[in-house]
Amino acid sequence: MAKKVIIMVRVNEYMPRHPNPHVPFTPAEIAETSAECEAAGAAIIHFHARKPDGAPSHDAEDYLEIVERIRARSNLLIDSTLGQNTIHGDEKRAAHIVRMGESKVRADLAAVDVGSTNLDVYDAQAKRFRTTNKTYVNTTETCIYLAERMREAGVKPHLTCWTIPFLRAADALMDSGVFQQPAYVQFAFCEGGILGGHPCTIDGAQAFLRCLPKDKRIEWTVTCKEGNLLPAAAVALENGGHLSPGIGDYPYPELGYPTNAKLVEFFANLARAWGRDVASPDEAREMLGLPQRATQAA
């Protein structure tokens, strides 16, 4: 039987509510979305804590409240952000993960970006860059520090790769024992004028695939910042990869500005049409080497 597809829904990032009004901000909205997305075929929810007005929240208590509320409404695996490039300083970035470890109200997974890249947006119509100094910096020291805090907290890192050098770093960090296998690796494609990652095209996805370490146990997934995931999804479905769509990344005008659940349903149907069923949260735990929920309770 064909390998099942793990769908991780990326519900909000720091996306505004226009043009797609369905982006969840509050803990209650994120929890409601988790229940709907589980019913639609998702196995993992990736979220960012937001204030009620949509501003980024870096308050550890907000993260704990969201984890508790999602657990109350769904069986989804929970994948937390580290605040991406909106927080500076390794200790601050890991603070809510450390707090999760202390409180035992913890996410299953959290994102670590295993390299650095430029995030300036190029406006092709105006023929100029909107900014010229936005670099997302993740030193190797930061990656090792975050990996250690996550290991202590009982949270598995999900390794985000924007370019092939990130993938090479992930390989080396697995090789040196910093990250454990099976690894959960996310290829982050970039559209919308962001040039710091691969384009979300068949070629952009195949470039990653050709450089995937052959001697490591890796479950890989695809996501696209500011663009339609379909080209990378096709490569993933054809080659044993997984899918990470979400209206946090892109409003999907092609699909009529759907809710996260409607978007998950679309990609779940696509996977089935491709001949691959979707993985349940428990099946995803098994594939990613995570403990089942009963044994995970502290």
Binding interface with Zn ion (CB under 5 A) = 13, 81
At residue 221, what are phi and psi to the nearest 5 degrees?
A: -135, 165
Rank residues 13 and 65 by Cβ distance to Zn ion and give the closer one. Answer: 13
Minimum gap (Å) between residue 201 Cβ and Zn ion: 22
Cis previous bond, 182, omega within 30: yes
Q: Which of residues 56 and 154 has its CB atom nearest to Zn ion in the complex?
A: 56
**Which CB, 8 or 183, lies closer to Zn ion?**
8
The values of phi and psi at residue 3, to 5°, are -60, 140
Q: What minimum distance in Å lies between the beta carbon of 156 and Zn ion?
A: 16
E strands, the chain, in order: 8-10, 44-47, 77-80, 109-113, 117-118, 122-123, 128-129, 135-136, 156-161, 183-190, 218-225, 242-243
Dihedral angle sign, alpha carbons of residues 221, 225, 230, 235: negative
* Cα–Cα distance for residue pair 243/240, rounded to 1 Å: 10
Question: How far apart are CB 162 and Zn ion at their closest, in Å?
Answer: 13
Q: What are phi and psi of 50, to 5 degrees?
A: -130, 155
The residue with its CB nearest to Zn ion is 81
80 or 276: CB nearest Zn ion? 80
| Smallest distance from Zn ion to CB 184, Å | 14
82 is written with which tokens?
């580290």
Q: Is the CB of residue 5 less than 8 Å from the CB of residue 40?
A: no
What minimum distance in Å lies between the beta carbon of 223 and Zn ion?
Answer: 9
Q: Where on the phi/psi map is residue 118: left (φ > 0), alpha (ψ -120 to 50), or beta?
A: beta
Of the pair 45, 276, the CB lying nearest Zn ion is at 45
Closest to Zn ion by CB, 81 or 138 = 81
Closest distance of CB 94 from Zn ion, Å:
15
* Residue 24 and residue 52 in contact, taking contact as beta carbons nearer than 8 Å: no
Minimum CB–partner distance for residue 295 and Zn ion (Å):
28
Complex with Zn ion: residue 45 or 183, whichever CB lies closer:
45
* Between 81 and 142, CB nearer to Zn ion: 81
Identify whether the C-beta of residue 261 lies closer than 8 Å to the C-beta of residue 40.
yes
